[in-house]
A and B are shown apart, each in its own frame.
Chain A
Amino acid sequence: MADVAARARNSARAAALSRVSDALWRRPSLLLLALVVPPLLWLGIVYLGSLFALLAHSFFSIDEFSGLVKYELTLKTYAELFRASNFDILVRTILMASAVTVAAAVVAFPIAYFAARHARGRWKAAFYLGVMLPLWSSYLVRVYSWKLILAKEGILNWVFETLRLTWLLEAYLSVPGIGGNSLSVSWTGTFLVFLYIWLPFMILPVQAALERVPPSMLEASGDLGARPGQTVRNVVLPLALPGIAAGSIFTFSLTMGDYIIPQIVGTSARMIGQAVYQFQGTAGNIPLAAAFAVVPVVVMGFYLTLARRTGAFDAL
């Protein structure tokens, strides 16, 4: 008896399911809606909603006496961005992001070129994993490793000492702007850590772009009398450019928004990320924090429009 009842229940369920399925078949838009609505609801409410809240806050201001947020539309907070101390933060951050991006492209290119054109089989897998593992492994731990490296008693100073080159390091550190008391509190230190952390983001798209270059094209270039250097400059580089542009989106954007690396390694001068963090936290000035945060969004907007022209999005 129980068996029959169970079977009846099962077939009723199957019938209901197939009715739903038929309805979906007759109206494919229904299926599409069922697929696309849940993720859109989530991203629309959680993400876009939050972005909107941020944007809204940047048009409010803080009351100087009570320290509370005044919910009145004003551009006062944006005007504050152009005060010398705040404007310095913006300039400094964008300079750092540009320097990191250029350096990452230079260091990444040979790795990507070798992995794309010369590595085969086992080596290819090794190169691939060699880039993927650091990319996905812990960001904080990798930053931490540089704290160990750059520390006064750490391995880098030890290497310089063993090679009797401490004078060279000290001469370098006395250069104003890039130097400092020690590497771990200098802009060079911050720069090195940024380069280290974001490098894999540059290697992968460049490698993907180089893999799409047909070998016959390089052979043709050689047959037409180009020296290897000329081939690289006139054939390979232009074809790799979309990949470099794609990678630069990541290195630039990630450097601009980071607040942890300059906090742990570097001088006391702040970057945008730190300013955002401090204004929203200890200072409790959410409008100014929001206005600061809008800057990278706007810069990235321009950057993405430029990058689209080079075909970077097809290289992602």
Chain B
Amino acid sequence: MRSRAALGLKIAAIGGLLFLHLPILLIFIYAFTTEDKSYQWPPPGLTLKWFAVTWNRPDVWAALGLSLRVAAISTAIAMLLGTLCAAAVARSRFFGREAVSLLVILPIALPGIITGISLRSAFSVADIPFSFWTIVLGHATFCIVVVYNNAVARFRRTSGSLIEASMDLGATHFQTLRFVIMPNMATALLAGGMLAFALSFDEVIVTTFTAGQQQTLPIWMLEELVRPRQRPVTNVVAMVVVLVTFLPILGAYHLSRGTETVAGQGK
């Protein structure tokens, strides 16, 4: 039963996977096309010229720099808050525990535009001008859930008796944290952090509401998508973005492999 899949099923499954991946491959081909006025297929010729052109574009570098800085700081905040929350929810039962886990998931369960416009109206009510930090505020909020999911899964599988044993043997809370909990949690946290980074690096919907005039890389891309001005540069940037986000995803996969965690469950 298990080994013999019906032919139709096999075709449907593989067709589905191709549907998911061929478009991304197409981007890679377009990055090399010589055509710069339209999306002509098949490409009339192949060239490496656009990589050099993109390399010399200060606006692309500025957007990339902003995106990386926002992602780094949001990830750091999310890792701290997500881990704390996961520790509380996984290790004890208290009044409102369900509410806390719902609250963490909410920013990602509701459509991004809700989070975006909520933050926007809060900023306008509180008279907060748009800045680097308003972007971080939004990103950290929806990144918490990613770290939380990874951490809570690991906490559940870390046996509580380990911690009790450590305390019984005379370790303080801090020593237990340092020598027992941290080594157990490290890979889960790192995986969560990587996914949070990828999520923040890529986020555009919330960012359009919280960025003001600043351009993160996704916002730069969005403007190119709405009003294409420099197709070849966009093609190259798109390809680089795919490659850059693949790295943390593959990293997170390797870190959480064999631990039964589905990394990034319920993004």
Kindly state the interface size class of chain A when it binds its partner.
35 or more
Residue B85 contacts which of A39, A56, A142, A154 (CB distance < 8 angstroms)? A39
Could you say which of A44, A117, A273 has the most chain B C-beta atoms within 10 Å of its C-beta?
A273
State the interface size on chain B (CB cutoff 8 A).
90
Q: A147-B225, A154-B39 are in contact. Are A316 and B265 (CB under 8 A)?
A: yes
Contacts of A139 in B (CB 8 A): 202, 204, 218
Interface residues of B in 26-62 (CB under 8 A from A): 26-27, 30, 38-42
Whether the Cβ atoms of A286 and B124 lie closer than 8 Å is: yes
Tell me the complex Cα distance, A288–B226, Å. 24
Q: Is B215 at the interface (CB under 8 A from chain A)?
A: no
Whether the Cβ atoms of A50 and B121 lie closer than 8 Å is: yes
Tell me the complex Cα distance, A290–B117, Å. 8
Q: Is B182 at the interface (CB under 8 A from chain A)?
A: no
Whether the Cβ atoms of A158 and B42 lie closer than 8 Å is: yes
Main secondary structure, interface of B, reads helix
Tell me the complex Cα distance, A222–B4, Å. 15
Which residue from chain B places its CB closest to the CB of A19 in the assembled complex?
A: B172
Contacts of A260 in B (CB 8 A): 204-205, 222
Report the minimal beta-carbon distance from A282 to chain B, rounded to whole angstroms. Answer: 13
Contacts of A258 in B (CB 8 A): 111-113, 205
Whether the Cβ atoms of A204 and B110 lie closer than 8 Å is: no
Residues of A within 8 A of B (CB): 17-18, 20-22, 24-25, 28-29, 31-32, 35-36, 38-40, 42-44, 46-51, 53-54, 56-57, 107-108, 110-111, 113-115, 117-118, 127-149, 151, 153-155, 158, 196, 199-201, 203-204, 208, 215, 218-219, 222, 228, 249, 253-254, 256-260, 263-264, 273, 276-277, 280, 286, 289-290, 293, 296-297, 300, 316
Residues of B within 8 A of A (CB): 1-3, 5-6, 9-10, 12-13, 16-17, 19-21, 23-24, 26-27, 30, 38-42, 77, 80-82, 84-85, 87-88, 92, 94, 100, 103-104, 106-107, 109-115, 117-122, 124-125, 137, 140-141, 144, 167, 172-174, 195, 198-199, 202, 204-205, 208-209, 218, 221-222, 225-226, 234, 238, 241-242, 245-246, 249-250, 253, 262-267
